Amino acid sequence: MGSKSKNLNYRILGPDTVKTDLLEVIEYLYLGRDIEITIEHLEYTSVCPMTGLPDFGKITVRYVPSKKLIELKSLKFYLLQYRNVGIFYEHLVNRIMDDLVHILGPKKMEIIGEFTSRGGLTTRVSVSYEG
């Protein structure tokens, strides 16, 4: 008897469908003062590019701004685009880093992905940038 899951038709989108033009910035008015901003997105979802099964986790963005701040609603909508995207955790944190560094030009940034357990394995992936 064959696997019934083979008949399921999951629509997996590619990472190229994520649009960075949704991201908006705000001018940082205190250029002589370094602050650290931490943003946590507790309801991150994407799909496994191999199986199409959902992945869940928490994405943390931590950065020291240079001249620009990320507008939070636009960041939320940017991250929501990953809902049906097939992407590996390691690629995801690097993609988010590249997109945010490009638009913000921060002094420092760290992206952390903490993903819920799958098959008894819990994964945490982080990437850092210093400009």
Catalytic residues: 48, 55
What's the CA gap between 18 and 13, in Å, rounded? 9
Calculate ∠ Cα 82-87-93, nearest 5°.
80
Beta-sheet strand order (sheet of 108-118): 37-47, 54-64, 108-118, 121-130
The whole-angstrom distance between residue 127's C-alpha and the CA centroid of its chain comes to 11
CB 7: neighbour CB atoms within 10 A? 7
What's the CA gap between 22 and 15, in Å, rounded? 15
Q: Smallest Cα–Cα separation from 99: which of 114, 81, 86?
A: 81
